[in-house]
Structure 1
Amino acid sequence: MGQGEASEDGSGAIFLVVAAGRGARAGDGGPKQYRELAGRQVLTRTLESLLKVAPQARARVVIHADDLDLFRAAIAPLTDELREKIDPPVFGGATRQDSVCNGLEALAAAGAPEDTPVLIHDAARPFVGPGLIFRALAAAREKGAAIPGTPVTDTIKQVAEDARIVGTPDRATLRAAQTPQAFRLGLILASHRAVREDGCRELTDDAAVAEWAGHCVFVFDGESDNIKLTTGEDFLRAEAKLLNNLPDVRTGQGFDVHAFGEGDHVWLGGVKVAHTQGLVGHSDADVLLHAITDAVLGAIAEGDIGAHFPPSDPQWRGAPSELFLRHAVGLVAAKGGRVAHIDATLICEKPKVGPHRDAIREKIASIMQLPLDRVAVKATTSERLGFTGRQEGMAALAMATVRLP
């Protein structure tokens, strides 16, 4: 094992995650730290990567003042254990440098000792690995100021304003800087305060802030996988990387039937659809969500919906079926996998599904945290044959594609 990897658990350390930027270079879609990456938000993945490795550490996230709801949505999928390690967020400033300074001031105001190891990390680096985190924790304690860096493999040219080459640095002396950058709190906070008081121009990273303040900053080994998501192309490559880590592709199928009874609506895919009758069932009788739930459970060989939510249990009487589907998707996530695609078909004469199809797809995508183009919903009749043809009830069948490690 590398230095610090044997026993470092993050005791007393704090991850300061910088998530206040707008991410304009990533294109449309909102701040990049809140965009979905293979079904989960980038910030969700980043916090999970940090806190799972260092169970005794805590995290503080610096966010934009407009993003409080986005932040809450990003931490919601984390386990209760991980969410308990995240302190209330801090609002950032006009620049990244201001945002980090605000975060450090909040740590000091909360009573963190000056020798607290602080790891300052970009929210848009979700692939930070355990080895890198261990090295950063050790460097913060032993060096006081250190950053991860990777060797530069391309030849670097220094150019003038007219594009003339004016120098070729020796690439053996160069490193590409990454995060988490590791410091003792007192050292980096004093450095940021000095830069702020001096009115110094914006510096490119926290190491530059410490250097400007006269401190020696060391470099430890970074990781080539620890990429920062900056452009739309970065997101495409990251998505492909995650899918390549889930090579076990499985398919499950589900089928469900419910009879018509008294009522003035039916629930289809989590959407309330007006009808002259209702569907009879122990829960809300959402035949479509029941079929999809069974398809997901089948793909991971986890029984069927009745095994997880017995109709004999009174607590599920009238329950919304999205609870069942969320549970099934959670079981996939607990195995380190993800649902890749859903294809479902409703079989009925009435009500007509077409006018509600888009709303149903959007609701299912929201429940399962899937992009809309990964949810297909179709409808057909049985040509007036059988119980559906006689309008005695509705049926649904579904196929779920799941990817696992």
Structure 2
Amino acid sequence: MSDHERDARIRHKSIVCDGSAAYQAQSLKADRVRMSKVVAIIVAAGRGTRLGGEIAKQYRMIAGRTVLGHTLVAMAAQADIERIVVVIHPDDSLHFREVVAALPAPVVERLAPPVHGGATRQLSVMAGLEWLADAAQDTPRFVLVHDAARPFVSRELVGRAVAAGIAHAAAVPGVRIADTIKRVDDTGRICETPDRDVLRRVQTPQVFAFMPLLTAHRRAVAAGLTGFTDDGTLAEWAGHVVHIFDGEAGNMKITSGEDIAEAERRLAPSVQLIARAGIGYDVHAFGPGDHIWIGGLRLPHDQGVVAHSDGDVALHALTDAILGALAEGDIGSHFPPSDPQWRGAASDQFLAHAMRLLRARGGRLDHLDLTIICEAPKIGPHRAAMRARIAAIVDVPISCVSVKATTSEQLGFTGRREGIAAQAVASVRIPEGA
């Protein structure tokens, strides 16, 4: 190994994060990567900014399972895959543990501990490669790299990928172009019409000989190049001959809301969903301060609220409404006020937790209806922003969130401006018996 490759390896050595006991208990010494098998790296460290929302696309629920969960189940169905390494964002450890907890045991048994990814897809793949180089007694001969956001990868496609990778040392799937392609200049003028017979749309999974791919990654980093969007292109840059084999049109990559809807149609289970509703209520007294949190927004006010967390009555009521629909107790049973870790905590994480419980049971949120009760501050000027913020937290369209406000006509503790209250109703659907 050259000095610059060794330095690059040290700089970009992956960080293994905590995972569930199911795969932590797997002994790396007892379960080495065998030379005759292929190890899969699933790239799941992206933020999915094009899709929007606060939850990365690989953790979106589709037909009762996350996108990443569907991908892992599909990948584990291939006997040629000895081990699966998932590269995740450092902030997604909790999301990943929830994914693993919902997977069948035979899939969990194939998982290595998760690895923290880098700032780009290329650096995330390199993190997985470096972890394999460090963790395995006998480094694998071949590695398969696949995007977490391609949950429709078939057993046949994985089989073709493995066969092509072993035969050619570098192989990527490609789909023929059906449309005529034009190359244009910056004024919009057509400059060229390439022959579509020689064009392909490249997909994953891509399979490579392990050490040549790792060496190519280290060379690229040493050269200051970290923006390669797929490993086939990086291998080409490094001078390797890359073979292309037939991909599948159905091996779609989820990048937009329309893709989510299409995936739902393709994966939707034939189970009966039953409607449920839950009611939530919360109240906090006013106290010293210069602002309050309400509906996920920090609003200036001549008082604060007396609370253990940030005291957001709107998000607390919404959280209890969802928990009520699931018969999962109340917010205090999940986040006890006696626990110091929740002192001053942002309430959006409480609401996000309730949504994860709903989605883990294969449920869907249909509508949230929130009413805020106070004399001041005025809610009307902030209603639209509150709806948008709540919709982002629970990852639903803003049309599914209603925010209303009223006074109590100067009656009671809210009328005397001694505190603020909120009540909420959540309408959900969950699989029968869930």
Q: State the TM-score, normalized to the length of structure 2.
A: 0.58
Which one of 421, 427, 431 corresponds to residue 395 of structure 1? 421
**Counterpart residue number, 2:207:** 182
1:87 aligns with 2:115: yes
Which one of 239, 243, 260 corresponds to residue 260 of structure 2? 239
1:343 aligns with 2:369: yes
Residues 346, 57 of structure 1: alpha-carbon distance in 2 compared, 3 angstrom cutoff: same
Residues 38, 203 of structure 1: alpha-carbon distance in 2 compared, 3 angstrom cutoff: closer
1:34 aligns with 2:49: yes
> Shift of the alpha carbon at 1:350?
2.2
Matched residues in 2 for 1:308 and 1:88: separation? 28
Matched residues in 1 for 2:399 and 2:304: separation? 30
Matched residues in 2 for 1:271 and 1:129: separation? 41
Amino acid across the alignment from 2:322 = V
1:118 aligns with 2:118: no
Residue 295 of structure 1 aligns to a residue whose secondary structure is helix
> Shift of the alpha carbon at 1:267?
3.5
Which one of 238, 245, 250 corresponds to residue 225 of structure 1? 250
Which one of 312, 323, 341 corresponds to residue 297 of structure 1? 323
> Shift of the alpha carbon at 1:279?
4.7
CA contact (8 A) 2:165 2:171 kept: no
Residue 34 of structure 1 aligns to a residue whose secondary structure is coil
Matched residues in 1 for 2:87 and 2:208: separation? 15
Which one of 120, 137, 155 corresponds to residue 131 of structure 1? 155
CA contact (8 A) 1:181 1:206 kept: yes
CA contact (8 A) 2:40 2:84 kept: yes
The C-alpha deviation readout for 1:186-225, integer Å capped at 9, x for no partner, is: 4656899999xxxxxx999839959x8568x5847x5543
Amino acid across the alignment from 1:77 = H
Matched residues in 1 for 2:306 and 2:125: separation? 59
Amino acid across the alignment from 2:277 = G
Quote the sequence identity (%).
35
Amino acid across the alignment from 2:258 = R
Residue 135 of structure 1 aligns to a residue whose secondary structure is helix
Matched residues in 1 for 2:87 and 2:339: separation? 41
Residues 349, 303 of structure 1: alpha-carbon distance in 2 compared, 3 angstrom cutoff: same
Residues 59, 139 of structure 1: alpha-carbon distance in 2 compared, 3 angstrom cutoff: farther
Residue 115 of structure 2 aligns to a residue whose secondary structure is coil
> Shift of the alpha carbon at 1:331?
0.7
In the TM superposition, 1:53-92 aligns within 5 A as: 53-54=75-76, 56-60=83-87, 71-73=89-91, 77-79=95-97, 85-89=113-117
The C-alpha deviation readout for 1:319-359, integer Å capped at 9, x for no partner, is: 53444323212212322445454331202222222344455
Residue 323 of structure 2 aligns to a residue whose secondary structure is helix
Amino acid across the alignment from 1:127 = P
> Shift of the alpha carbon at 1:168?
10
In the TM superposition, 1:275-354 aligns within 5 A as: 275=301, 279=305, 284-309=310-335, 313=338, 315=340, 318=343, 320=345, 321-337=347-363, 339=365, 341-354=367-380
Matched residues in 2 for 1:136 and 1:404: separation? 38
Residues 226, 395 of structure 1: alpha-carbon distance in 2 compared, 3 angstrom cutoff: same
Q: State the TM-score, normalized to the length of structure 1.
A: 0.61
Matched residues in 2 for 1:326 and 1:381: separation? 28
The number of equivalent residue pairs is 353
Amino acid across the alignment from 2:360 = A
> Shift of the alpha carbon at 1:398?
1.9
Amino acid across the alignment from 2:376 = K
For structure 1, the residue ranges without an aligned partner over 5 or more in a row are 1-9, 20-30, 62-70, 196-201
The C-alpha deviation readout for 1:243-284, integer Å capped at 9, x for no partner, is: 545684745342314263543354423444454555556655
Matched residues in 2 for 1:243 and 1:178: separation? 21
CA contact (8 A) 1:15 1:57 kept: yes
CA contact (8 A) 1:269 1:363 kept: yes
The C-alpha deviation readout for 1:39-89, integer Å capped at 9, x for no partner, is: 63235566555456549421458xxxxxxxxx5456663227869834343
CA contact (8 A) 2:278 2:426 kept: yes
Matched residues in 2 for 1:350 and 1:339: separation? 30
**Counterpart residue number, 2:409:** 383
> Shift of the alpha carbon at 1:15?
1.1
**Counterpart residue number, 1:255:** 280
Deviates more, 1:252-261 or 1:182-191: 182-191
Which one of 41, 60, 82 corresponds to residue 15 of structure 1? 41
Amino acid across the alignment from 1:131 = R
